[in-house]
Amino acid sequence: MNTPSDSSLGREVRYPDQYDPGLLFAIPRRAAREQIGIDEAALPFAGHDRWHAYELSWLDAGGLPQVAVATFCVPCTSPNLIESKSFKLYLNSLNGRRFDTAEQLRACLVQDLSACAGATVSVDFELPPMVAASAAQSIDQQSLVIDCYGPPQSGYLRADTATVVEEVLTSALLKSNCPVTGQPDWASVDIAYRGPAIDRAGLLRYLVSFRNHAEFHEQCVERIFADIQARCLPEWLSVHARYTRRGGLDINPVRVSAGAPLPAPSRDLRQ
């Protein structure tokens, strides 16, 4: 079984000068989900891991370099997530590869990424728009005394069962660490729901308690979803995190209750 310690994370790696799909590294989702208490056979959510690539390049049939941006969507039902450093190395391996058309490149990307994830990955040569005016309400401007920065404390979460609301709350203060290198991962997170009103002070304390926590982006979002669902009992829930870019890639995991609409794809100012 692939584990983070088996990957190229945290190791000095020579950047590839030849196309190599073998650089892609799959990490099974099952183990992390079991730790959170999520049943792989009956996922409590739908969604995907949406990657934005800003440094995609290849050669045309005549050897002239081409550049593009791209959006990749890995379904959350895939058995594997794609480890980020291996993803960057793989994309760099395309720099010297010749393709007759951009469509030929897209087919190559779909084939290689789908094989790694274990499910069909979509590829589009475009990026979603920047976030426009949003109805989301920031919870960051609260006067709080906080002294817990990990591990995540689901006990901070509570909701007022006497007050049912439908709202979108947002925070720019989500931070966790790579479980292998210890490097910081920074994100904004939108939490949309209908149900008992979530206590905003408790929610902010909860999100800040990820600050020194070591877990992959996708796993953090699934933990947030599972904890809010268990502690606050919303009728439906959506958790959408937008992580900042590293090595020309950013990742945006989205998890929503079954039947709930997916949030519109978007990027924020830090991306």
pLDDT in tens, 148-181: 999 999 999 999 999 999 999 999 999 999 988 8
Give 259 or 1, the one with higher predicted confidence.
259
Residue 247, marked binder: yes
Question: Exactly one of 76, 178, 220, 232 is catalytic; which is it?
Answer: 178
Annotation-wise, does 217 bind a ligand? yes
Whether residue 146 is annotated as binding a ligand: the answer is no
pLDDT number for residue 172: 96
Tally of CB atoms within 10 A around 261: 10
Distance CA 149, CA 170 (A): 19
- The yes-or-no answer on residue 178 being catalytic is yes
d(Cα 219, Cα 45) in Å, to the nearest integer? 13
Task: State residue 6's pLDDT score.
Answer: 55
In this prediction, residue 134 carries a pLDDT of: 75
Known binding residue 12? Answer is no
Cα 65–106–117 angle (5° rounding)? Answer: 125
167 is in an annotated binding site: no
Question: What does the alpha-carbon distance between residue 198 and residue 182 come to, in Å, rounded to a whole number?
Answer: 31
Domain annotation for the chain: domains and CATH numbers: 4-124 (3.30.1130.10), 137-257 (3.30.1130.10)
The per-residue pLDDT for 100 is 97
Residue 4 has pLDDT above 70, yes or no: no
Q: What is the mean pLDDT of residues 180-188?
A: 93
Rounded to a whole number of angstroms, the CA Rg of the chain reads: 19
Instruction: Give the integer Cα–Cα distance in Å for 198 and 206.
Output: 12
pLDDT of residue 136: 92
Write out the two tokens for 85. 């450093």
- Predicted confidence (pLDDT) at residue 270 exceeds the cutoff of 80: yes
Chain segment 51-84, per-residue pLDDT in tens:
999 999 999 999 999 999 999 999 999 999 999 9
Residues 60, 66: Cα–Cα separation, whole Å? 7
139 pLDDT more than 70: yes
Average pLDDT (235-253) is: 96
In total, the chain counts a number of residues equal to: 271
| Contact present, 221 and 233 (Cβ < 8 Å) | no
Q: What are the distances in angstroms from CA 12 to CA 9, 26, 89, 181?
A: 8, 19, 12, 12
Peptide bond into 151 cis (omega under 30): yes
Q: What mean pLDDT value characterizes the chain?
A: 93
Active-site choice (185, 190, 227, 250): 185
> Catalytic annotation on 185?
yes
Is the model's pLDDT at 1 over the cut of 60? no
Q: What is the mean pLDDT of residues 20-46?
A: 96
Buried b (16+ CB within 10 A) or exposed e, 55-84: bbebeeeeeeeeeeebbbbbbbebebbbbb
Q: Where are the beta strands (DSSP E) in 7-158?
A: 26-28, 46-59, 65-75, 80-82, 122-124, 137-138
Asked whether the predicted pLDDT for residue 203 surpasses 60, the reply is yes
Q: What order do you get walking across the sheet with 46-59 strand by strand?
A: 122-124, 65-75, 46-59, 249-256, 236-243, 184-198, 159-177, 137-138
- Residue indicated by tokens 């039947």: 259
pLDDT of residue 135: 82
Going by C-alpha positions, the residue among 9, 83, 45 that lies closest to residue 223 is: 45
pLDDT of residue 253: 98
